[in-house]
Amino acid sequence: MDRITEKPTEEKLKPKLFSVMKNYSKGQLINDLTAGAIVAIIALPLSIALALASGVGPEQGLYTAIVAGFIVSFLGGSRVQIAGPTAAFATIVAGIVATEGMSGLVISTVMAGVIMIIMGLCRFGSLIKYIPGTITAGFTFGIAVTIVIGQVKDFLGLKFSSSPIETTDKLAEIGKSIGTLNWQALLIGLLSLAVLILWPKKLEKIPASLIAVLLCSAIVKLSGMEVSTIGDLYTISSDPPKFALPEFSFAQMKAMLPNAFTIALLASVESLLSCVVADGMIGSKHRSNMELVAQGAANVGSALFGGIPATGAIARTAANVKNGGRTPIAGMVHSVLLLVILLLLMPYASMIPMPTIAAILFIVAYNMCGWKNIRDMLKTSPKSDIAVLCITIVLTVVFDLVVAIGVGMVLASLLFMKRMADVTEAHAWVDVDDEDTDPDNILLKRIPKNTRVYEINGPMFFAASNKFRYMLDDTGIDVLVIRMRNVPAIDTSGVASLADIVKRCGRHKVNVVFSHVNEQPMHAMEKAGLVETVGRENFCSHIDTALKRAEEIESSLVKA
């Protein structure tokens, strides 16, 4: 009986909202309203803290959570994804703002959004999984380190003599300014950390970050402590998000392209990782391509309404699920409540102490760093993978994410190619193994007298191409059978190696027969003209057919 293989169903480009509303109920609406309200309370201090860490005003963090959060929930491919500003972007955004200004950030973010929309429309959602885990873990840990270093100044209440941008410069400035340490600021910072760490788990529906903000703001205000607050450093605005299209030129777009690709890649990776985590929590399956389109639209919208880059936030998404959110309505409620808070309560944000903001970001950095994952990798991974991990971390901290991801991907790709080349081999069978249970083993076949059979195992690509050139070392034969059942893929260099073997065989009057060439290698050989050169009759679907063809060739040579 023929085996029937069902073709995988192509993923829909349809927002989850439109699918889940068919069976929406009053009970689920109540759960979504509750979850949305709790997530909004969690997102409030985080959005402000992440905006400040990104070098922009506190209200711009809320703009991002409001606009991007609503768009992702409305158009996204996940039932429960919550989007907004995240720690992963803090150092990138701060660097762009410091060097290119807000206009540069807007252009970069809009371009990143367009790139993500194109990725989603081109069905690139599944390709994100090919970014090695060592690189993801490396730059995530590196970003966490840069966040911590960037917040030391406010946590200790230091007075800097300059405004360094690079992480290494910030470290140097911390060392120079350590004598300006403000003990009152440190005390507030430590108190904030204590609340964030020790807040009872039974009361987790009231976020520890909100308690830390309210408690420490009250202490600083009532005691008159000399501690910097948000209002001392920033002008607080309670204006709603307003549409503004920046002036831009082709030259600016060209200059911002590397930043745009970095934002797009990071937003894609973090959003889809968040979707995968959420799927595991609710037993659902997200639509990765639709999620990329939604994240792209969200970043365009966020930038044009005064926000910063946004992505799916794993912690806020998990909080949404834990509190009963099961549809995108919860995410939309979270955005609407944040808008209400912005309009009515934003002036009170001026009283939040900067050491408390620093403490919140310390906890964010700790939660995102994945140190347990790093520890396990250091224990179990090969030395080459550990090297890629460490190099990615160092480059993220010392230089930036663009350099780290670029170098990390190149190193990981080279290591992958080396490993594939190491497992690729071509060998001739000369001895019979009585214990072999493979009925198609060439050792169990009768090979014609003047025929040599070589079997290739593994992908044939440029890094392994030199392994096949010795096939014709034995020239005292009439037929060379090349068995390729274990060759899943071949590149141009691999085809060139086979063409070279065929050419050399022609010079020595040796006929070539191919056995069991898989679909992709066959297509590549057809395009290269190798099939016509060898002759289609010399491409056999099975080793038995190939050996029979070799017998026919030898018989014709004897008669001649």
pLDDT in tens, 85-129: 998 888 889 989 999 999 999 999 999 999 999 999 998 887 766
From the list 137, 197, 166, 91, the residue with the least C-alpha distance to 369 is 137
The SS3 assignment for 245 reads coil
With 80 as the cut, is the pLDDT of residue 4 above it?
no
What residue type is 371 in one-letter code?
A: W
Q: How confident is the model at residue 467 (pLDDT cuts 50, 70, 90)?
A: low
Strands 539-540 and 311-312: unpaired
Q: Which of 51-55, 244-248, 398-402 has the lowest mean pLDDT?
A: 398-402
Q: Average per-residue pLDDT in the chain?
A: 86
Over 80: is that where the pLDDT of 498 sits? yes
What count of other Cβ atoms lies within 10 Å of the Cβ of residue 473? 8
Q: If you average pLDDT over residues 387-413, what whole number do you get?
A: 84
What pLDDT is recorded for position 187? 97
Mean pLDDT of 134-144: 84
CA 537 to chain centre: 46
Q: For position 103, what pLDDT does the model report?
A: 92
Does residue 5 have a pLDDT over 50? no
Distances in Å between the alpha carbon of 91 and those of 82, 88, 370, 517? 21, 7, 18, 50
Using the predicted structure, report yes or no on whether residue 378 has a pLDDT greater than 90.
Answer: no
Task: Give 2's pLDDT tier (boundaries 50, 70, 90).
Answer: very low
* Residue found under tokens 């200004």: 101
The residue-averaged pLDDT of 180-194 equals 95
**Per-residue pLDDT at 202 exceeds 50:** yes
SS3 call for 526? helix
pLDDT digits (tens, 9 = 90+) for 408-435: 888 887 877 776 666 565 656 544 444 4
pLDDT value for 432? 43
Site of tokens 């204590």: 194
C-alpha span between 361 and 364 (Å, rounded): 5
Per residue in 37-93, pLDDT (tens digit) is 989 988 999 899 999 999 999 999 999 999 999 999 999 999 999 999 998 888 889
Residue 189's pLDDT is 95
Is pLDDT above 70 for 439?
no
Ranges of beta strands (E only) in 328-396 are none
Q: What is the pLDDT of residue 394?
A: 92
pLDDT attached to residue 473: 63
User: Among 512, 526, 521, 524, which residue's Cα sits nearest to residue 487?
Assistant: 521
Nearest-angstrom CA–CA distance, 235 and 346: 11
Q: Which of 160-169, 265-274, 413-422 has the lowest mean pLDDT?
A: 413-422
pLDDT of 534 over the 90 cut: yes
| Domain 426-559 coded CATH 3.30.750.24 | yes
Q: Is 229 helix (H, G, I), strand (E, B) or coil?
A: strand
pLDDT of residue 318: 86
Instruction: Give CA–CA dist 35/325, Å, rounded.
Output: 5
- Integer-rounded Cα Rg, in Å, for the chain is 30
Q: Which of 276-280, 304-308, 450-454 has the lowest mean pLDDT?
A: 276-280
Rounded to an integer, what distance in angstroms lies between the CA atom of residue 291 and that of residue 285? 12
Which range in 141-145, 412-416, 445-449, 538-542 is most confidently predicted, on average pLDDT?
538-542
Let me know: does 544 contact 514? Beta carbons within 8 Å: no
Residue intervals of the chain classified under CATH 3.30.750.24 are 426-559
Judged by average pLDDT, the poorest of 111-115, 185-189, 325-329, 411-415 is 411-415
In the DSSP assignment, the letter for residue 235 is -
pLDDT at 464 over 70: no
Average pLDDT score over residue span 190-215: 86
Q: To which H or E segment does residue 457 belong?
A: strand 451-457
Q: How many CB atoms lie within 10 A of CB 538?
A: 21
Q: What is the pLDDT of residue 349?
A: 86
Q: How far apart are CA 362 and CA 140, in angstroms?
A: 14
